[in-house]
Structure 1
Amino acid sequence: MSILSEDSSVISKTKDLCAQIVAEPRFKELQGRVERFLDDDAARLQYQSVHERGEELHHKQHAGVELGAAEIREFEAARDALFKNEIARGFLEAQRELESIQQTIGKYIGMTLELGRVPEAEDFAEAEDGCCGGNGGCGCH
């Protein structure tokens, strides 16, 4: 039987983990923030506008075009207004926390596959302090 077959113990435990995540009150709260944002057309449009404008400015800057002070101020004002929008801010915070959960679980699984055992806190510390002092300069993190 494959380690990834639907009836394997690994998939069973993975489903248990997923069920535990979904049952967590904090997850339900984060999910509620995302749903609230998705249901609010004004917040979504505001977010989309700021995101698109930020990408546009990034591309201009990356292409060597010097950004004008006025367009920078306009973007910063729009971004500040977005962060003042409780629904959009809640969405951004929820999105950040959900991504952190996903990254942390991914680190545990990756380290398990690398070490061949369940990682300890020291393993993560050693990995961060490894070949490049934890700064990611060598591409190992």
Structure 2
Amino acid sequence: MTLLTETSPVMEKTRELCAAIAADGHFAKLQKDVERFLDDDAARLMYQTVHERGEELHHKQHAGVKLAPTEIREFEAARDELMRNEVASAFLDAQGELESLQRTIGKYVNMTLELGRVPTDKDIAEAEKGGCCGGGGCGC
């Protein structure tokens, strides 16, 4: 039996983890915030505009072009307006929390595969500081 067969203990626990996430009330709220954003054309357009403008300014700056104060002010005003939009703001918060959840679960699984055991709090703390198995400093 391999680890990835449908009836393996690893896959059963993976499904249990997924079920726990899906059943969590806070997760359901985050999903609703994302869905509400996806259904709101105005909020999506505002987000897309700010995102594209931010990338444009970043590329200009990275290329060594000095940004005009008006460009910066206009971008900041658009970003502030985006953050005042309740739907867009809730989406951005939800997106951040969901990404953090994904990163944290991934970190635990990756460290388990690297270490051959469940990582301890100390292992996690060291990885976050860039130590063993976090920054590749120990050959992991």
TM-score, length basis structure 1: 0.89
What count of residue pairs does the alignment treat as equivalent?
A: 136
CA offsets, 1:25-69, max 9 Å, x none? Answer: 000000000000000000000000000000111111111111111
From the superposition, tell whether residues 111 and 44 of structure 1 become closer, same or farther in structure 2 (CA, over 3 Å): same
Quote the offset at 1:102 in angstroms: 0.4
Distance in 2 (CA, whole Å) between partners of 1:25 and 1:77 is 34
**Structure 2 residue 28 is matched with structure 1 residue 57:** no
Kindly state the Cα deviation for residue 2 of structure 1 after the two structures are TM-superposed. Answer: 2.0
Q: Secondary structure at the match of 2:2?
A: coil
Deviation at 1:130, TM superposition (A): 5.3
1:3 corresponds to 2:12 = no
Which residue does 2:21 correspond to in 1? 21
- 1:18 to partner: Cα distance: 0.4
Task: Give the equivalent residue in structure 1 for 2:118.
Answer: 118
Unaligned runs of 5+ in 1: none
The residue aligned with 2:35 is 35
Match of 1:87 in 2: 87
Following superposition, the deviation at residue 129 of structure 1 comes to 4.0
SS in 2 for 1:2: coil
The one-letter code sitting in structure 2 at the alignment partner of 1:60 is K
RMSD: 1.9
2-structure distance, mates of 1:57, 1:18? 39
Structure 2 gap segments, 5+ residues each: none
- Poorly superposed stretches of 4+, deviation over 3 Å: 128-132
Q: Note the C-alpha offset of 1:131.
A: 4.2
Q: Give the counterpart letter for 1:120 in structure 2.
A: T
Counterpart of 2:102 in structure 1 is 102
Output aligned runs, 1:130-141, within 5 Å: 131=131
**TM superposition score normalised by structure 2:** 0.90
Q: CA offset at residue 116 of structure 1?
A: 1.1
- Check if 1:69 corresponds to 2:58: no
The percent of aligned pairs where both chains have the same amino acid is 68
Q: Distance in 1 between matches of 2:46 and 2:128?
A: 37
- In 1: Cα distance, 2:125 partner to 2:108 partner: 13
